[in-house]
Amino acid sequence: MTPFTQYIKDLYVGIKNQLPCAGNNAVAEMREKGLQNLLEKDFQIYQKENRKMFDDHIACASGMKPQLTPPPYRPVEEYFHCKVKDIDTRMCIFRNGWYVHNGNPLTVEENGVITGSLTEALRQYPQLVFPYLLAENSPKEDSLSAINRLLFNDGLFVYVPDNVVVEKPIQLISLTDSSEHLLLNNRNIIVVGKNAKVSFIQCDDSIEFKPSFINNTTKIYLDESAYFSYYKMENKNPESLLFNEVDVEQKAHSHFYSNAMTFNTGYLRNKINVFLTEPFASAKMYGLYLVDKKQHIDNQIFIDHQVPDCESYQLYKGIVDDSAIAHFLGHVVVRPDAQRTVAAQTNRNITLTDEAKITSKPFLEIYADDVKCNHGTTVGQLDEEAMYYLRTRGICEVNARRLLMLAFANEIADFIGIDSLKARYKEMIRKRLNGELTICDQCVLHCPHLGME
């Protein structure tokens, strides 16, 4: 057993009676299964495939602890302002792993939409929540997923009934705001009914720049003909370790769309697993990562075509500067019965220095014969011919480089379906490429020692 697994086991034994729903036998059994799964897996894949990553970014979290009680309530406006302007959302704030509310942990709207604390939803609507919370382990569950199952303290619960169109996007903002070194595990569950439609925006930000280990899992269930748009934005401090896993289960004619953007991070792993379980479902995924200094981004996409007549599409792009590291793994499986599958995956990268490192592994695993599938990857520098063209038009080298990078990155932003969000993300891309955007841009404190005005 690795020392980190032993640490998590000992931590759980010491605090399990203090975790939410400790008196619920079903939840306790779920946690014990998570412990069993962790002990069985014991980070074997990480040690085998990337031992240095495990040693540098996971094992070093030994000693970090969860915050077992919610922090005192403070109005969010006192310490955080969302920089996405002119967008009207239903904001759900989590601070240090706990849902922020002033006496109303769960909101039930007239149309039946439920949003709020997962643990509160368990208390008020156990028959609605338990089938999803206690669902069988995902076939892609790894050691980190098992830790989340074991130690989760809260999370966001969203329920959209059949035939309901949610006009206002739901926005989840997760903040770390503590002088302690936190080990946080949130478990989010999103259920979208038949013919229902909703947009979801998830943001991860830091206020206190302290080392943290954030290990979140989001389970998304899309019923027949459901539409779900998932937007993800990360702007974390360099000391953070952030692991996000998203599992999506799709039924017939459902549509899943995601667009994930990373502007700043320490070590970040975004993992999306999509299971197309009934015919005529579709999944489209886009991603952009802009990393520099010693930042490390790891995007892992797994798409399981289990049945005929489904489609999937991936386009991820990255710009890597200084000694930053970017990793992309795209895995599409087409099962024997999944005839007439259409699947495409593309990963494009630009390196700006010789020290920047990129690994890209898109691959297809096909067991059906009537399919249309393709994949490709590119890793290179800025186009010299395009640079020359711009220079001959009187544009200096610095501005020419920025224009080319901006055009490269904005292609991902162009796929965003919310106009105000698209405009804000394009502004953030421009500022990031100009070196203007830091995690402080999200904060309202304007600390004098950081030179903020």
Angle between helix axes 3-15 and 143-151 (nearest 10 degrees) is 10
Non-local (6+) Cβ contacts of 399 within 8 A are: 390
> Is the torsion defined by CA of 95, 98, 99, 103 positive or negative?
negative
Lowest pLDDT segment from 99-108, 144-153, 201-210, 364-373: 201-210
User: What are the Cα distances from residue 111, in Å, to 53, 59, 114, 116?
Assistant: 46, 46, 9, 15
- Residue 384, number of CB atoms within 10 A of its CB: 8
**At 55, is the secondary structure helix, strand, or coil?**
helix
Give mean pLDDT, residues 425-433. 86
In this predicted structure, the answer to whether residue 447 has a pLDDT above a threshold of 60 is: no
**CA-to-CA distance for 297 and 265, rounded, in angstroms?**
8
Q: Can you tell me the mean pLDDT for 65-92?
A: 78
Band the pLDDT of 57: cuts 50, 70, 90: confident
Share of the chain above pLDDT 70, in %: 88
In this structure, what token pair is assigned to residue 73? Answer: 């309530």
Identify residue 286 by its one-letter amino acid code: Y
Residue 126 Cα distances to 157, 217, 362, angstroms: 12, 20, 40
394-407: per-residue pLDDT in tens? Answer: 677 677 777 888 88
Q: Taking a C-beta distance cutoff of 8 angstroms, is the pair 137, 37 a contact? A: yes
Domain extents in the chain: 3-450
Count CA atoms closer than 13 A to 271's CA, side-chain side: 17
Confidence of residue 451 (pLDDT cuts 50, 70, 90): very low
Please state, in angstroms and as integers, the Cα–Cα distance from residue 350 to each residue in 171, 198, 436, following that order: 31, 34, 20
| Angle formed by the axes of helices 419-433 and 397-413, nearest 10° | 150
CB 121 within 8 A of CB 106: yes
Over residues 112-131, mean pLDDT: 94
Q: Is residue 189 within 8 Å of 137, Cβ to Cβ?
A: no
Three-state DSSP class for 279? coil
What is the mean pLDDT of the segment spanning 436-441? 50
User: Which residues neighbour 169 within 8 Å (Cβ) at sequence distance 6 or greater?
Assistant: 87, 88, 89, 90, 198, 199, 200, 201, 231, 418
Q: Most confidently modeled of 23-27, 63-67, 164-168?
A: 164-168
For 77, other C-beta atoms within 10 Å of its C-beta total 9
> Per-residue pLDDT tens for 140-172?
788 899 999 999 999 999 999 999 999 999 999
Q: Which of 31-40, 83-92, 118-127 has the lowest mean pLDDT?
A: 83-92
280: CB partners within 8 A, 6+ apart: 252, 253, 309, 310
pLDDT of residue 442: 43
- pLDDT of 86 higher than 90: no
3 state SS of 373 = strand
Determine the 3-state secondary structure of 40 from DSSP. helix
Average pLDDT, rounded, for the chain: 86
DSSP structural state of residue 226:
-
Q: What is the DSSP letter of 207?
A: S
Q: List all residues 6 or more positions away from 370 whose beta carbon is below 8 Å from its beta carbon.
A: 339, 340
Q: How confident is the model at residue 390 (pLDDT cuts 50, 70, 90)?
A: low
Q: With H, G, I as helix, E, B as strand and everything else as coil, classify residue 20.
A: coil
Burial class of 342 by CB neighbour count within 10 A (0 to 12, 13 to 18, 19+): middle
Q: What is the pLDDT of residues 269-300, one digit of tens each?
A: 899 999 999 999 999 999 999 888 888 899 99
Residue 373 near residue 332, CB atoms below 8 Å = yes
Q: Is pLDDT of 125 > 90?
A: yes
Confirm if 332 and 368 have CB atoms less than 8 A apart.
no
Q: Across the strands, what pairs with 94?
A: 99, 174
Span 339-366, average pLDDT: 92
Per-residue pLDDT, 402: 78
| Nearest-angstrom CA–CA distance, 62 and 383 | 44
